[in-house]
Amino acid sequence: MEPSTHPRAAGDALHVPVLLEECIELLEPSLETEHPIMIDGTLGMGGHSEAFLQRFEHLTVIGIDRDPEAIELASERLAKFGSRFQAVQATYDQIDSVAKELGHQGAGLGTVDAVLMDLGVSSLQLDERERGFSYSHDAPLDMRMDTESGQTAAEILATADVREITRILSHYGEERFASRIARRIVDERETTPITRTTQLADLVKASIPAATRRTGGNPAKRTFQALRIAVNDELAVLERAIPRAISSIRVGGRIAVESYHSLEDKIVKREFAAGATSTTPPGLPVELPGHEPYLRLLTRGAMKADSGEASKNSRSASVRLRAAERLREGGTSS
């Protein structure tokens, strides 16, 4: 197969997907059918999708992403696979609708064999400085994954009150100095609009005690993470997406989810645990029909990257990988 001719798409080949072999190993049993279909719910630049398409010669991958640039570049990168790859611009909480339209059309109508989700911000978004995701480069404070809709980070900082900014930074960023940062943001914007990434990064640094700034990396990391999650409504989308993804998998199909933030992982853990737990009332001598677990957990807790991968790929340091197999119809909370 010839490599992509698009320079941006080809360049992303240097970005190594996190826990790739582990994801392949977990999902492989569900892909051993005649014409398997997998949904990559977080397409990005298509690194995971490319690896699966190369490994499984009869596999079709449906890639979902809300970012139109990701759709364009991943489609260029994966064009060599022809009709075995299809891209859909959507948020991944629309995964059930995508499965119904593009999944199996015979037995198991509207389902797929596997789902993969690699959550968080993609290398594409981090690398494109003008997107405003990174505190390391001066750029407009945007942070929208879909640049065609929604409020930017700058607009949120210009309109939200101290209480709301504090909530965002504390809840989504687990920032212990959230109230101090929020107060400084509101004071600063009275004279100077906060519209640039370096402005915000400097403001955060000035809000945090000097002793705290000496350890733990860039002090703006948690603030930028929190704003990105708020701008894109990531946790609410994820809470809708996981049960819908489970309901889109055929019996015997599998789902694997990679999280990089404790709040993401808690949502995934909760939904998987609910599916793996019987709902038969305690004390009954037999399992009630329809109350059996509808998931089987495939990982003991969450898998993490080993020290070797973490040293080679900094993004893998915080990853938590969970996977499950669909045992029966029904049962999901979607």
Quote the CA–CA distance of 242 and 152 in Å, as a whole number.
26
Quote the CA–CA distance of 79 and 83 in Å, as a whole number.
8
Quote the CA–CA distance of 220 and 204 in Å, as a whole number.
6
DSSP state, 304? -
CB crowding 20-55: b at 16 or more within 10 Å, else e: bebbbebbeebbebeebbbbbbbbbbbbbbbbbbee
3-state secondary structure of 130: helix
Residue type, 236: A
Tokens linked to 325 = 């197999």
Tokens linked to 231 = 């701008």
Q: Are 237 and 93 in contact (CB under 8 A)?
A: yes
DSSP state, 196? B
Paired with 303 in beta bridges are: 321
- Starting from the edge strand earliest in sequence, which strands make up the sheet with 112-118, in order? 85-89, 60-65, 37-40, 112-118, 249-259, 320-326, 295-297
Q: Are 304 and 284 in contact (CB under 8 A)?
A: no
Which positions ≥6 away from 224 have C-beta within 8 Å? 133, 134, 135, 143, 197, 200, 201
Q: Detail the residues annotated as belonging to a binding site.
A: 46-48, 65, 92, 118, 125
CA dihedral (154, 155, 158, 160) positive or negative: negative
Q: Detail the residues annotated as belonging to a binding site for S-adenosyl-L-methionine.
A: 46-48, 65, 92, 118, 125
